[in-house]
Chain A
Amino acid sequence: MQLTIKYFGMLAEATTINEEHLQTEVCSVSQLIKKLKNQYPKLDNADFKVAIDQQLVDQSHIINSEVEVALLPPFAGG
């Protein structure tokens, strides 16, 4: 299945992209993050939350459909 991965703020800076598509099997959020950290070592020390289809999820959440995954660094609104 194909996921859309979105990067924001300092994470977009670290990966040098805003968005990409990724082919993957069913996996947990933590497995996906591990894969992304291998691809982008600068993510390793980054602090971020994960949203799937605009809802925050925890690391054990299983990704089993073609969703939009967003990596969100600390919020700074206001």
Chain B
Amino acid sequence: MEKKKPKNVFVQGAISSEFIGTSIAKHQTKTSIGAHNIFLGQVRADQIDGKMVSAIDYTAYEEMANQKFHEIREATFEKFDLTCMHIYHSLGTVNAGEICLFVFVSSPRRKVVFKALEYVVEAIKADVPVFGKEIFEDQTHQWKQNS
């Protein structure tokens, strides 16, 4: 188990594939792990009324969001036999095709990580005060809403 103080989940801008790769590599020393599961949220170039989303500008109520992420972590460790868990979410502008959410769960056994990852991602979508401004190619915008 990891230590339990609230962490800062937010990173400025897109989450790079190098960052994700390095994060995976860091687990090579944790040899009780038998299974990792990773969720990557990617900004989708939605077509809305003939206009294409080119980026999302993320903002958050950061203090409350970090507290919510912490509660989700605690609840997930309570429910599932995980070795470790990492969550990173973007703030600021993330272009279509780039990664805005990285959730990484690890356990001795595979069945646990399939269930745990879905639980974490759904909780993030429902409970964390993060807001997204979808910016179109013509620089107009609309506000995103999780469904």
Residues of A within 8 A of B (CB): 6, 8-10, 12, 51, 54, 70, 72-78
Closest A residue to B126 by CB, please name it: A75
> In the complex, are the beta carbons of B130 and A10 less than 8 A apart?
no
Q: B90-133: contact bitstring with A at CB < 8 Å (1 yes, 0 no)?
A: 00000000001100000000000000000001001111111111
Interface size range on B against A: 20 to 34
- Determine whether B144 belongs to the interface, using a CB cutoff of 8 Å to chain A: yes
- Chain A residues within an 8 Å CB radius of B65: 77
- Chain B residues within an 8 Å CB radius of A10: 131, 143
A-B pairs, top 3 by smallest CB distance, nearest first, are A9-B131, A77-B130, A76-B132
- Chain A residues within an 8 Å CB radius of B41: 78
For B64, B101, B126, the residue with the greatest tally of chain A CB atoms inside 10 Å of its CB is B64
Residues of B within 8 A of A (CB): 41, 56, 58-61, 63-65, 67, 89, 100-101, 121, 124-133, 143-146
Complex formed: what's the CA distance from A8 to B126 in Å? Answer: 17
Given contacts A8-B59, A8-B131, A54-B63, is CB(A75)–CB(B125) below 8 Å?
yes
Given contacts A6-B61, A70-B61, A70-B64, is CB(A78)–CB(B133) below 8 Å?
no
Say which residue of B100, B131, B133 sits within 8 Å of A75 (CB atoms). Answer: B131
Complex formed: what's the CA distance from A75 to B60 in Å? Answer: 9
Distance to closest chain B CB from A54 (angstroms): 4
- Chain A residues within an 8 Å CB radius of B61: 6, 8, 51, 54, 70, 72
- Chain B residues within an 8 Å CB radius of A6: 61
Given contacts A6-B61, A9-B143, is CB(A75)–CB(B128) below 8 Å?
yes
Distance to closest chain A CB from B78 (angstroms): 20
Distance to closest chain A CB from B101 (angstroms): 4
Given contacts A76-B146, A77-B60, 5 further A-B contacts (CB under 8 A): A72-B61, A74-B145, A75-B126, A77-B125, A78-B124
Closest A residue to B142 by CB, please name it: A10
Distance to closest chain A CB from B69 (angstroms): 10
